């Protein structure tokens, strides 16, 4: 480090005559300067003033430089850390504000979607006389099955007649009094019929009043139609698809349109079930016409199931016109 300094000083005019003093001074202070020059940047020592730098002075000067540099480093670090913390606080505050805005916006959008769904989905009054008759027939069905298994066929025939009358009345009332008609009834009525026929078929098959192959065919067809009804309800229900909205009967989303062969099959099934139920009472269990009616019922049941599969107009998804 000193040779560099000496070389720089020799470029000044008139410095060659001071070379002996400069060399003597450099020899005495070389160790001290070499020790502290790198740590303190002490490379600007001037030998023109012929000052004598002892070890203690150089050490104190170097320590002061180191202490000053250390203080500046700490101060700079504190400034940077404070700036980082301030930026972090600003970022966290902005993030919280953004998250709050997103949540509020999401809540508003969901509320708006619900309002739009209320406008799109048609609501109707389901507390009508035909619907009460239909629900009553559905609750009566399991009891009729119990009476058949208990062997009281006369009472079972009477209850079946009552169920048939309710089925006839709910259709006539809905047809002649439009304010009593409802889209929900288009699903409730066939479901009640399937529940009634299913209860009768199971109990009569258990008592050997119907052949098992016919009972199985009728049950398979009814289970298929019930499952299709649940699927149609799910498909026609706009989002959000929740359980409360799914089972809310006032939300009418689809209307069932039974086919002609299905109506014929319902009549044939009820006729076959009624005549089979009366067979042990009037003693014609082995009559050939009764067996022929069973085969006709099986054929119309299969045909009705195929008609629902092949005909794409069996149901209609409803949307309110706005």
Task: For residue 228, name the pLDDT band (cuts at 50, 70, 90).
Answer: confident
What pLDDT sits at residue 78? 82
What pLDDT sits at residue 11? 47
Count of residues for the chain? 322
Are the C-beta atoms of residues 211 and 246 closer than 8 Å to each other? no
What pLDDT sits at residue 5? 45
Mean pLDDT of 85-113: 84
Could you count the other beta carbons within 10 Å of the beta carbon of residue 282? 10
By CB atoms closer than 10 A (0-12, 13-18, 19+), residue 59 is middle
Q: Is the pLDDT of residue 1 over 60?
A: no
The first and second tokens of residue 221, run together, are 């067809």
Which of 196-205, 234-243, 251-260, 290-299 comes out lowest in average pLDDT? 251-260
The C-alpha atoms of residue 229 and residue 191 are separated, in whole angstroms, by 9
b/e sequence 85-107, b meaning 16+ C-beta within 10 Å: eeeeeeeeeeeeeeeeeeeeeee
Mean pLDDT of 8-30: 49
Task: State the DSSP string of 254-283.
Answer: EEE---HHHHHHHHHHHHHHHHHHHHHHHT
Beta strand 251-252 with 254-256: parallel, antiparallel or unpaired? unpaired
What pLDDT sits at residue 29? 45
Task: For residue 292, name the pLDDT band (cuts at 50, 70, 90).
Answer: very high
Mean pLDDT of 199-205: 92
Q: Is the pLDDT of residue 24 over 60?
A: no
| Mean pLDDT (the chain, rounded) | 76
**Greatest mean pLDDT among 56-60, 141-145, 182-186:** 141-145
The first and second tokens of residue 63, run together, are 């320590």
pLDDT digits (tens, 9 = 90+) for 245-259: 777 766 667 766 778
Residue with tokens 């049950």: 219
Return the percentage of the chain with pLDDT > 70, whole number. 72
Higher-pLDDT residue of 218 and 123 is 218
């Amino acid at each position: 480090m000193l040779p560099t300094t000496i070389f720089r000083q020799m470029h000044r005019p008139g410095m060659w005559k001071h070379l002996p003093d400069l060399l003597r001074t450099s020899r005495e202070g070389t160790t001290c300067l070499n020790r502290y020059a790198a740590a303190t940047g002490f490379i600007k020592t001037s030998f023109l003033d012929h000052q004598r730098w002892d070890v203690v002075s150089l050490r104190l000067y170097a320590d002061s430089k180191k202490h000053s540099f250390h203080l500046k480093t700490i101060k700079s670090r504190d400034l940077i850390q404070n700036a980082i913390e301030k930026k972090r606080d600003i970022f966290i505050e902005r993030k919280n504000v953004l998250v709050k805005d997103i949540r509020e916006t999401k809540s508003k959008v969901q509320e708006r979607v619900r309002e739009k769904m209320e406008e799109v989905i048609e609501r109707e009054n389901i507390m009508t006389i035909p619907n009460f008759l239909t629900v009553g027939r559905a609750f009566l069905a399991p009891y009729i099955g119990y009476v058949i298994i208990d062997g009281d066929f006369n009472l079972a025939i009477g209850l079946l007649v009552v169920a048939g009358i309710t089925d006839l009345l709910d259709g006539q009332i809905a047809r002649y009094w439009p304010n009593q008609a409802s889209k929900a009834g288009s699903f409730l009525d066939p479901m009640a019929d399937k529940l009634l026929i299913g209860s009768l078929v199971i109990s009569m098959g258990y008592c050997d009043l119907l052949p098992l192959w016919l009972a199985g065919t009728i049950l398979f067809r009814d289970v298929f139609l019930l499952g299709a009804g649940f699927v149609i309800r799910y498909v026609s229900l706009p989002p959000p698809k929740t359980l409360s909205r799914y089972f809310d009967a006032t939300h009418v989303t689809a209307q069932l349109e039974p086919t002609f062969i299905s109506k014929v099959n319902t009549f044939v099934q009820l006729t076959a079930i009624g005549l089979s139920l009366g067979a042990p009472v009037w003693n014609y269990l082995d009559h050939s016409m009764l067996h022929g009616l069973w085969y006709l019922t099986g054929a119309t049941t299969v045909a009705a199931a195929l008609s629902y599969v092949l005909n794409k107009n069996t149901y209609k998804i409803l949307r309110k016109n706005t």
